[in-house]
């Protein structure tokens, strides 16, 4: 049996509440309530399991243990008041008791109705709270508390709902911060909510705790996304894939997709750079590495096809260039050969011209030699002789050798190259005095003519008489 006003549990047959003194009603059970399974003093329609049990029954307490409930929210009374039946009651006292009972009957009926109404509000508030409608639940709890201000269960549940409402507001704030991408503020607010929830095990807090876990994962996802945006290395990005796989289904798929997309982006940019520089093998290796994480990605497979195509085109271009270079080398060699031939011919022409000039000059020197002898200009003829000849034959001896020669005719003259000089062969007829008798004699003479100190000289010579 429980007090209809304060809810304190009372011993059977007690007439007044041992805590607040409220009259508990008749000591004997009534037929109607007993048939409905109600206890003495329990408000009509009041639940046997109080609403606070609905919010927290059979859940871990803050101390880590589990609460024990005996079908209501209230502890055993610390003291009991038991009115024992006496064998006799003085008439005066009996009359006083009857008078008091008659005067308090109306008050008892009022209190009983208030308790039942408070219990109904309490139960409705508990259901609303479990449905997440905290403002409505708090409104009903406030009304229930006004009807039963001493009801400890109402006060307890009101505190629980206020805590849940505060946690929910905090989680709503966290959700808004996460939507805006403010990871730092979201982390701070979420930590405050998690601290408020602590290790509470009441059913009331299960939605908030689940939402807090979801928010924590959303925060992890947000931080991972921001980190991925900053990374530019494929190996570093790939290492984050395992972290992404540890997330729940949808988040794991989203983050994995983000990481894979970043790997594709980074790898494509790097491969493009290598492709532009003609490093086809390196570009292909970069794409192949990225395809391990983004198998079948159209952008990567398209890039790989372009690399292969440009590699083939480059190879064909290289071969064409090599062929062109060979042709150019052949043309150059032909041109060089032609130039060499031309130069050789020019050299030969120059040599022929020079030789012809040298021959002419050599023959002219020989002719001049005999012209000077005809004019008896022996010094002029002597000066046409080379140094070695002059050294071997003095001028006087030279002049004396031609004293009997009056004139000389050159009948024939020819020249040829020999030992770097010009060999001039002549045939002459001389009119000379032989034993005081003038006669004609023919001779053949061969001279070696060449340059000496830049001047054509008759270096040596010999002759023989032919008749």
As given in the structure block, the two tokens for residue 7 are: 């809810």
Query: Residues 191, 289: one domain?
Result: yes
Strand ranges of the sheet holding 438-452, from the earlier edge strand across to the other edge:
405-418, 421-433, 438-452, 455-465
Q: Is 88 exposed, middle or buried (0-12, 13-18, 19+ CB in 10 A)?
A: exposed
Residue 85, in any domain of the structure: no
Report the alpha-carbon distance of residue 203 to residue 205 in Å, rounded. 5
Domain limit, last residue, from 249, 283, 305: 305
Domain annotation covers residue 72: no
Q: Tell me which residue range forms the domain holding 232.
A: 171-305
Based on the domain organization, do 209 and 293 belong to the same domain? yes
Which residue(s) pair with 423 in the sheet? Answer: 416, 448
Q: Where are the alpha helices (DSSP H) in 375-432?
A: 378-383, 387-392, 395-401
Instruction: Tell me, yes or no, whether 211 lies in a domain.
Output: yes
Name the domain boundary from 285, 305, 325. Answer: 305
C-beta separation of 433 from 452 below 8 A: no
Q: Report pLDDT digits (tens) over 325-351.
A: 999 999 999 999 999 999 998 888 888
Locus of tokens 């929830």: 197
Q: How confident is the prediction along the chain (467 residues), in pLDDT tens digits per residue?
A: 666 666 666 776 666 666 666 666 533 333 333 333 333 334 344 343 345 555 654 444 333 333 332 333 333 333 322 333 333 334 434 434 444 444 444 545 556 788 899 999 999 999 999 999 999 999 999 999 999 998 998 999 999 999 999 999 999 999 999 999 999 999 999 999 999 999 988 899 999 999 999 999 889 888 888 888 888 888 988 888 888 888 776 777 888 888 999 999 999 999 999 999 999 999 999 999 999 999 999 999 999 999 999 999 999 999 999 999 999 999 999 999 999 999 998 888 888 888 888 999 999 999 999 999 999 999 999 999 999 999 999 999 999 999 899 999 999 999 999 998 999 999 999 999 988 889 999 999 999 999 999 999 999 999 999 98
377 with 461, same domain? yes
Identify the burial level of 175 via C-beta atoms within 10 angstroms of its C-beta, where 0-12 means exposed, 13-18 middle and 19 or more buried.
Answer: middle
204 and 274 share one domain = yes
Shared-domain flag, residues 196 and 301: yes
The set of long-range contacts for 266-273, using a CB threshold of 8 Å and a minimum separation of 24, is 266/232, 266/233, 266/234, 266/237, 267/234, 267/300, 268/299, 268/300, 268/303, 271/303, 271/307, 272/303
Entry pTM: 0.48
Closest CA to 215 of 179, 241, 165: 179
Do 407 and 291 have their domain in common?
Answer: no
Is residue 369 a contact partner of residue 377, using CB atoms and an 8 Å limit? no
SS3 per-residue string spanning 190-232: HHHHHHHHCCCCCHHHHHHHHHHHHHHHHHHHHHHHHHHHHCC
Residue 439 inside a domain? The answer is yes
Judgement on whether residues 366 and 260 belong to the same structural domain of the protein: no
Which among 271, 305, 339 is the end of a domain?
305
Q: Indicate whether 287 and 358 sit together in one domain.
A: no
CA distances from 336 to 177, 248, 332, 341, 372 (A): 81, 78, 6, 8, 51
- What DSSP assignment string belongs to 65-130? SB---SSSS-PPPSS----PPPS---HHHHHHHHHHHHHHHHHHHHHHHHHHHHHHHHHHHHHHHH
Could you give the number of structural domains in the chain? 2
All residues at 6 or more sequence positions from 37 whose CB lies less than 8 Å from its CB, including other chains: none
Q: Is residue 373 domain-shared with residue 278, that is, in the same domain?
A: no
Q: Are 301 and 363 within one domain?
A: no
Same-domain pairing of 189 and 262? yes
Residue 62 lies in a domain: no
In a domain, 204, yes or no: yes
- Domain contains 7: no
In a domain, 5, yes or no: no
* 271 lies in the same domain as 388: no
Q: Which residues contact 402 (CB under 8 A, 6 or more apart)?
A: 373, 378, 381
Domain with residue 362: its CATH number is 3.10.450.50
The CA angle 420-421-426, to the nearest 5 degrees, is 145
């Amino acid at each position: 049996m429980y007090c209809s006003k304060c809810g304190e549990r009372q011993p059977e047959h007690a007439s007044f509440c041992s805590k607040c003194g409220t009259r508990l009603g008749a000591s004997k059970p009534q037929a109607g309530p007993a048939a409905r399974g109600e206890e003495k003093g329990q408000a009509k329609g009041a639940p046997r399991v109080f609403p606070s049990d609905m919010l927290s029954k059979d859940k871990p307490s803050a101390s880590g243990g589990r609460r024990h409930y005996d079908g209501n929210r209230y502890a055993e009374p610390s003291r009991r008041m038991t009115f024992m039946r006496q064998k006799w009651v003085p008439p005066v006292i009996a009359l006083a008791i009857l008078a008091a009972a008659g005067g308090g009957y109306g008050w008892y009926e009022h209190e009983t109705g208030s308790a039942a109404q408070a219990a109904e509000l309490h139960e409705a508030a508990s259901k609303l709270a479990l449905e997440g409608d905290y403002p409505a639940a708090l409104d009903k709890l406030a009304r229930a508390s006004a009807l039963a201000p001493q009801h400890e269960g109402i006060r307890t549940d009101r505190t629980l709902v206020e805590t849940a409402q505060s946690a929910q507001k905090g989680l709503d704030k966290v959700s808004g911060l996460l939507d805006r991408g403010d990871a730092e503020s979201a982390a701070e607010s979420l930590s405050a909510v998690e601290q408020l929830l602590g290790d509470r095990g009441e059913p009331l807090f299960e939605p908030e705790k689940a939402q807090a876990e979801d928010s924590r994962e959303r925060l992890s996802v947000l931080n991972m996304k921001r980190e991925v945006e900053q990374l530019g290395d494929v190996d570093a990005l790939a290492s984050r894939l395992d972290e992404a796989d540890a997330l729940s289904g949808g988040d794991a798929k989203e983050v994995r997709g983000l990481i894979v997309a970043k790997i594709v982006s980074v790898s494509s940019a790097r491969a493009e750079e290598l492709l532009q520089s003609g490093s086809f093998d390196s570009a292909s290796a970069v794409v192949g590495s990225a395809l391990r994480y983004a198998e079948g990605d159209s952008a990567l497979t398209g890039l790989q096809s372009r690399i292969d195509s440009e590699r083939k085109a480059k190879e064909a271009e290289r071969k064409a260039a090599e062929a062109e270079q060979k042709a150019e080398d052949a043309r150059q060699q032909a041109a060089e050969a032609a130039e060499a031939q031309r130069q050789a011919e020019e050299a030969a022409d120059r040599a022929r011209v020079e030789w012809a000039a040298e021959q002419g000059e050599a023959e002219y020197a020989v002719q001049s030699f005999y012209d000077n002898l005809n004019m008896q200009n022996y010094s002029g003829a002597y000066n046409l002789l080379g140094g070695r000849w002059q050294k071997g034959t003095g001028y006087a001896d030279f002049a004396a050798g031609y004293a009997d020669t009056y004139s000389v005719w050159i009948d024939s003259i020819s020249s040829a190259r020999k030992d770097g000089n010009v060999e001039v062969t002549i045939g002459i007829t001389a009119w000379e005095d032989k034993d005081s008798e003038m006669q004609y004699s023919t001779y053949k003479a061969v001279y070696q003519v060449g340059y000496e100190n830049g001047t054509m000289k008759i270096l040596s010579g010999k002759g023989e008489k032919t008749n």
